């Protein structure tokens, strides 16, 4: 029997058929709650927000789109997986959000911009060519436009594998998932150095960076009371932009800005 591949023709892991699992295993538990709590605190600190239109690329179930739409941004959510998009449509029913079913690679045709604000959270690590995708995101930005980028951190993946006792896997540096099963281990986890290099290539400057879940995923004793949960959130917030802690965040959250260049600079 020939097994159909869950990968798209471009080799990306679209989340078709994963909506329930993703909703339950991430957003249904403390990891998702912590991510949302951190974004709630950090997005207003890391971005200049004045109600500008937002493109949410690979918007999934729509949690991030909801955050922006509830704050007055007209949101366009671009997502290739039909069942993710259906759930997002239901959740965002009453909010100013429009939906485009398409992959990031179709952005120039389907949601051209240029955009003053683009978000792409937890998507690049599911693509076979995240570098090309990064360039597409950069090109969609207006001069001075901001990209809120969140990526799954390869260094943190190594650390957590060692903490869990997967020593041979870590020694062999076999960290990435295959994307072929129902496991949610990304196929292209990324390093900070890649984001630095790609930003330089694309004329983006890194305005700020933070680690998301710098402590939580390594805890031996997860919080069991609301008071301890609040202490953990306070610690995550206090150290998420401090050396060395941000570097081991499970995700790295960036604000990248398209530098405004003169026509002469562009021609060079
Ligand atoms: C881990 S989820 C993140 C969803 C959402 N951005 C969030 O932060 O909750 C990854 C999403 O990327 C989408 N995706 C996969 N390949 C994509 C592509 N080529 N273009 C755009 N989105 C893609 C998946 O379908 C899935 O909804």
127 lines ligand 1 (CB under 6 A): yes
Ligand 1 mean position to 15 CA, how many Å?
A: 7
Q: What is the mean pLDDT of the chain?
A: 93
What are the chain's domains?
19-267 (3.40.50.150)
CA-proximal residue: ligand 1, atom 4 (nearest): 60
Of ligand 1's listed atoms, the one at least distance from the Cα of 56 is 6
Ligand 1 mean position to 221 CA, how many Å?
A: 31
Ligand 1 mean position to 189 CA, how many Å?
A: 14
Q: pLDDT tens across 174-220, in order?
A: 998 877 666 678 999 999 999 999 999 999 999 999 999 999 999 99
**Which among 248, 55, 23, 46 has a CA at the least distance from the CA of 155?**
248
Q: For tokens 């917030």, name the residue.
A: 237
pLDDT of amino acid 183: 67
Whole-structure pTM over 0.75, yes or no?
yes
- H/E element holding 197? helix 192-202
Task: Please tell me whether 79 is known to bind a ligand.
Answer: yes
**Which among 203, 79, 210 has a CA at the least distance from the CA of 89?**
79
What distance in Å separates the CA atoms of residue 36 and residue 51, rounded to the nearest whole number?
20
């Amino acid at each position: 029997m020939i097994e159909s591949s869950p990968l798209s023709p471009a080799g990306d892991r679209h989340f078709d058929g994963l909506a329930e699992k993703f909703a339950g295993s991430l957003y249904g538990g403390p990891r998702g709650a912590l991510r949302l709590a951190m974004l709630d605190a950090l997005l207003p600190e890391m971005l200049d927000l004045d109600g500008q239109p937002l493109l949410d690329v690979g918007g999934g179930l729509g949690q991030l789109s909801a955050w922006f739409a509830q704050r007055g941004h007209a949101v366009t959510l671009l997502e290739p997986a039909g069942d993710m998009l259906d759930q997002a449509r239901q959740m965002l029913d009453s909010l100013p959000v429009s939906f485009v079913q398409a992959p990031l690679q179709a952005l120039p045709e389907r949601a051209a911009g240029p955009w003053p604000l683009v978000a792409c959270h937890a998507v690049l690590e599911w693509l076979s060519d995240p570098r090309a995708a990064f360039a597409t995101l950069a090109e969609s930005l207006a001069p001075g436009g901001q990209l809120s980028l969140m990526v799954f951190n390869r260094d943190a993946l190594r650390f957590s594998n060692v903490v869990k006792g997967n020593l041979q896997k870590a020694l062999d540096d076999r960290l990435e998932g295959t994307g072929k099963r129902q496991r949610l281990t990304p196929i292209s986890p990324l390093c900070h150095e890649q984001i630095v290099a790609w930003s330089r290539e694309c004329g983006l400057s890194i305005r700020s960076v933070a680690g998301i879940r710098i402590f939580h995923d390594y805890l031996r004793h997860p919080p069991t009371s609301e008071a301890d949960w609040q202490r953990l959130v306070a610690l995550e917030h206090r150290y998420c932009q401090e050396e060395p802690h941000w570097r081991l965040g499970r995700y790295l959250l960036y604000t990248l800005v398209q530098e405004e260049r003169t026509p002469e600079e562009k021609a060079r």
